[in-house]
């Protein structure tokens, strides 16, 4: 049994609830445990994962959040930099599943977040579990 940390940027609560539910169900189905940590926004997710990975409490991580395009350049910064931060963590050998949705509108986010439709939270949890398996096989 492995232990995972879901790091959630709680900006769109109703969408995050679905993403976390999907991730949690995937972990439970695989017999793993998980906790949820809330951070202010998607840009804080990689930093929180980095800090939490310094100990041996967690075997892997899932990033959960929703970034919806607005009228300013902010979307590109948040979407790109949060993804870059998560990729840097995985390149350092930390198993992280990226469940941060980057979408044009809330309707797109709803379809992707809903566990009975897109289930991107569940997909992110499965990615984290797969990376942990690879890490364990090749460590």
The pLDDT tens digits of the residues spanning 79-120 come to 999 999 999 999 999 999 999 999 999 999 999 999 999 999
Task: Kindly name the residue from 74, 76, 87, 104 that is annotated as catalytic.
Answer: 74
Give the residue extent of every domain in the chain.
3-138
Question: Using alpha carbons only, how large is the chain's radius of gyration in Å?
Answer: 14
Percentage of residues of the chain with pLDDT beyond 70 = 100
67 labeled binding residue: yes
Question: Is 3.40.50.960 the CATH classification of the domain at 3-138?
Answer: yes
Q: Is the pLDDT of residue 72 over 90?
A: no
Question: Is residue 74 among the annotated active site residues?
Answer: yes
112 labeled binding residue: yes
38 labeled binding residue: no
Arithmetic mean of pLDDT over the chain: 97
pLDDT tier, 71 (very low <50, low <70, confident <90, very high otherwise): confident
5 labeled binding residue: no
Q: pTM for the complete prediction?
A: 0.96
């Amino acid at each position: 049994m492995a232990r995972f940390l879901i790091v959630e940027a709680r900006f769109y609560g109703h969408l995050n609830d679905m993403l976390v539910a999907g991730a949690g169900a995937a972990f439970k189905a695989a017999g793993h445990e998980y906790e949820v940590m809330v951070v202010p926004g998607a840009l804080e997710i990689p930093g929180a994962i980095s800090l939490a990975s310094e100990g041996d409490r967690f075997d892997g991580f899932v990033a959960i959040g929703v970034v919806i395009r607005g009228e300013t350049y902010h979307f590109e910064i948040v979407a790109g930099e949060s993804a870059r931060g998560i990729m840097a963590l995985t390149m350092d050998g930390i198993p992280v599943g990226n469940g941060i949705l980057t979408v044009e509108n809330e309707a797109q986010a709803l379809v992707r977040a809903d566990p009975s439709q897109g289930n991107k939270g569940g997909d992110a949890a499965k990615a984290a579990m797969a990376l942990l398996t690879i890490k364990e096989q090749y460590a």
